[in-house]
């Protein structure tokens, strides 16, 4: 797990799907470790993320929901683990940018968040207005 730069912790199979997509698109999926909160209570989620951070040496945790169990667990861990960066609301664009970023992982995470935000768009379909 020495290549792991970040943990992706989400509900159900979302993290695995995101990491799989990063691997398929870039071949750099090994920079991320996918974790699921499925079947785990709050203490187990926190222990799972803490173990993964300690085993991999990763200093960034990406999570899906602002008030979800993975985010709350990662935020609690920030009190124990100095320098841990938590990124909430992960999407594929964010992870793709992160795995290609250079420099410190905290700076890479910040840049990745900006790219992820920029990628969000609303495309409304419908009949042509004739203009």
Residue spans per domain, the chain: 6-118
Q: Is the pTM of this model over 0.85?
A: yes
pLDDT in tens, 8-55: 999 999 999 999 999 999 999 999 999 999 999 999 999 999 999 999
pLDDT in tens, 49-106: 999 999 999 999 999 999 999 999 999 999 999 999 999 999 999 999 999 998 899 9
The CATH number of 6-118, from 3.30.390.30, 3.40.50.10190, 3.10.129.10, 3.40.50.510, is 3.40.50.510
pLDDT in tens, 98-116: 999 988 999 999 999 999 9
The answer to whether residues 70 and 64 touch, using CB atoms and an 8 Å cutoff, is yes
Q: What secondary structure does DSSP assign to 50-102, as a single string? A: HHHHHHH---EEEES-TTSHHHHHHHHHHHHSTT-EEEES--HHHHHHHHH--
Strands 60-63 and 32-36, how do they pair? unpaired
CA distance 3 to 129: 52
User: Half-sphere exposure of residue 88, counting CA atoms within 13 Å on the CB side?
Assistant: 11
């Amino acid at each position: 797990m020495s290549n792991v730069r970040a943990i992706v912790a989400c509900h159900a199979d979302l993290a695995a799907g995101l990491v799989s997509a990063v691997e398929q698109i870039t071949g750099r999926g090994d920079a991320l470790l996918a974790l699921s909160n499925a079947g785990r209570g709050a203490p187990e989620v926190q222990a799972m993320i803490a173990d993964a951070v300690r085993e991999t040496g990763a200093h960034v945790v990406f999570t899906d929901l602002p008030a979800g169990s993975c985010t709350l667990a990662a935020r609690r861990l920030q009190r124990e683990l100095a320098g841990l960066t938590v990124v909430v609301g992960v999407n594929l664009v964010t992870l793709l940018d992160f795995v290609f970023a250079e420099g410190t992982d905290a700076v890479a995470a910040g840049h990745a968040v900006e790219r992820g935000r920029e990628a969000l768009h609303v495309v409304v379909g419908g009949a042509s207005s004739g203009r």
